Chain A
């Protein structure tokens, strides 16, 4: 057992030492001893190479293509979600101009907007999009471990989206039960889409979960069992840690949604009463009886809360990497960051009922869940401090990517602080179901992860397409979106305080509401501008594909493996002849004594003998 090995296991605390070549056991032949990495233990992956257009671009088994497919389809549904939000804002700000909208339409749009944004947009984009593209590249494998399954995963997602959108065209339209789909109202007449709409929603979700499971198994096994030589878990970029942990959460949280959806479908179609209590309607007792609506809420939020972190953890991971690269500094407290991600992931399974403070459950539950909720703030705050400490005295490149990262930190802190309000039962009770909640979750899980996605797009576009996105357009895009988003959501906190309820089609003449008319108009205008500002990005992408500045290899001087492929953009199989060998973590930036301000993960110790590097 060489001491080289001891260090990898992490028994010894991180020590800073000058690495010199020689003096280590286990080396062989021409390789200097210090550079020795144990031989490959996994055989070469056997890949299926597509020949035709169909096998190369449609039913493709290359994780990178699948990632882009996921990205595009998720973005497409996201745009639908955005248009729905426009329609809602039109109604709220300028009801006279939205004469074509009825209250039913409004409920349907709220519901579809919420579900699309959370599940079909953000989840699919982070895990399906970034996960597929980045995991194999970042851990140094040729592809996902089960490429065929991966392909089926995307197409299940595709069918799920088709079924979801089909519900716009069935009699009764899509469901209007709110994205939480609470029974009994979700399947009772009077709620829009209580027949076909909710049925298609449940089917679509079940398809999504099935498809996601296939993808998730891939992400997990690729990280656990298919890393390249030298790539220990504690040398993985935080992006991979975030996506990996989010995948674990999804694998354990989606089952609750699946079961809840299935049971509700049976209530709807067969007339069982899992969630349906005895109901009086127009003086008549319905067939239903004896079920428990609260049970659905528990199932839903056992999925729903981890879902928030399924979206947030990849964002945490990605933003850490972006900040580190563009501040030219190692991420502060890498190990702490990893444990915080894992800790948040674990804790997120014990807080779900903070969404149910007003559901009538036992008050002691509220006490318990408020406590756990506030405990989560600790690892979360640690992460925020670490991002800031990473920036501190960094050599910051204030480019568009960095702007998005800074925007994320600010927005996330804002949303996090309102989360502390809502986590306390006594504060939540009056605020629950008001615009304060809307403001809170849009800040923390809508806008903040969206900022990371934007930053990630500007950061990795040169890898995917080989060209830089235009900075000037990017800055317009950033500032309009950032200031616009604050114009939308900042006033909403106030609206919530004065008691404006969420999911209301119209405020009628309630006195507190008439005082908010001006504000509602302002918010709506801001929402239109923010939505339209996204066109700048689309234009930028199309323009860049044609005339963008070529990026070449490793344009950001990053260290992680995805930038070190022999060809840019990387080809099927990623690495050409030989898999990369990893010697260090991906955060060796601005190392004293090094020739350049970055040392890639594949640089062996013997090439940087003069430097002081942390041993990872």
Chain B
């Protein structure tokens, strides 16, 4: 990324540049849109939320009296009659990561003011997210069907069910919220709201393609968190 052009301000490379930006007036992150800066800080705060969840999970798993269930069995899918561990989850992860890719492309086309491409790619991202949530619902119902509940678990420590449903539920909620926004943004893109700078329904602020990048940041974050959840629940 190249530095933005700012009248009367000369950028410097490296640490010196950082110190200069920090010490300057008006803005600390030169040329960074307010909304984008906000999203970064929001995500920083969210990092702490998910860290608290995962650290609690580690602590909970480490101190239960009854053994933790064998995750590769619990999470396996039967193809024909052979259990394939991690099958569903591999597909879910693949879908979600792919949707990050389409999101990144949407951002690019947005800045190029290619309304059509941008809109379709956002829609593709939304559908990826929806697929993910659908598969998660499938996994939940499978586990529930086998008798796993937040408060009990036939395969071992009951905290397994508690943490699994809580953390994937919390993450799934975030994905779902993201999907809703993606659909709204796709609509707004197709309608040309970002081209015309049409004012938002609630905030009354002018539309701008940077909003897609901001939503993109959120979406990539949710994906990244999933990678951690995936590692902690399915690979440990």
Interface residues of A (CB under 8 A from B): 1, 5, 8-11, 26, 37-42, 46, 48, 145-146, 148-149, 213, 216-217, 220-221, 224-235, 251-252, 254-256, 258-260, 262-263, 266, 270-274, 278, 287, 289-292, 295, 299, 302, 582
Contact = CB atoms under 8 A, between A and B. Distances in A.
Given A232-B25, A266-B166, A295 B59 contact: yes
A227 B23 contact: no
B236 interface: no
Nearest to B9: A38
Given A1-B10, A273-B151, A274-B159, A221 B34 contact: yes
A9 B202 CA distance: 39
A231 B26 contact: yes
B37 interface: yes
Contact of A213 (B45, B150, B163, B166): B45
Given A252-B44, A272-B151, A299-B52, A291 B28 contact: no
Contact of A287 (B6, B26, B151, B204): B151
B42 A217 contact: yes
Nearest to B56: A295
A41 B56 contact: no
A290 B67 CA distance: 11
Nearest to B48: A255
A414 to B, nearest CB: 33
B25 A145 contact: no
Nearest to B30: A41
A359 B204 CA distance: 51
Nearest to B200: A148
B150 A266 contact: yes
How many interface residues does chain B have, given as a range? 35 or more
B162 interface: yes
Given A146-B34, A217-B38, A295-B60, A232 B27 contact: no
Interface of B: 6-10, 19-20, 22-32, 34-35, 37-38, 41-42, 44-46, 48-49, 51-53, 56, 59-60, 63-66, 150-151, 157-159, 161-163, 166, 170, 202-206
B34 A226 contact: yes
Contacts of B19: 9-11
A184 to B, nearest CB: 15
A295 B62 CA distance: 12
Contacts of A148: 202-205
A569 to B, nearest CB: 25
B219 to A, nearest CB: 18
Contact of A273 (B42, B48, B158): B158
Given A41-B26, A290-B65, A290-B157, A272 B42 contact: no
27 contacts: A1-B10, A26-B8, A38-B25, A41-B6, A41-B26, A41-B31, A146-B35, A216-B45, A224-B27, A226-B27, A229-B25, A230-B25, A233-B28, A234-B23, A251-B45, A252-B45, A255-B45, A259-B52, A262-B170, A266-B166, A272-B166, A273-B159, A274-B60, A287-B151, A290-B64, A290-B159, A291-B159
A225 B42 contact: no
A254 B42 CA distance: 12
Contacts of A48: 204
A291 B62 CA distance: 10
A299 B60 CA distance: 13
B233 to A, nearest CB: 16
Contacts of A41: 6-7, 9, 26-27, 30-31
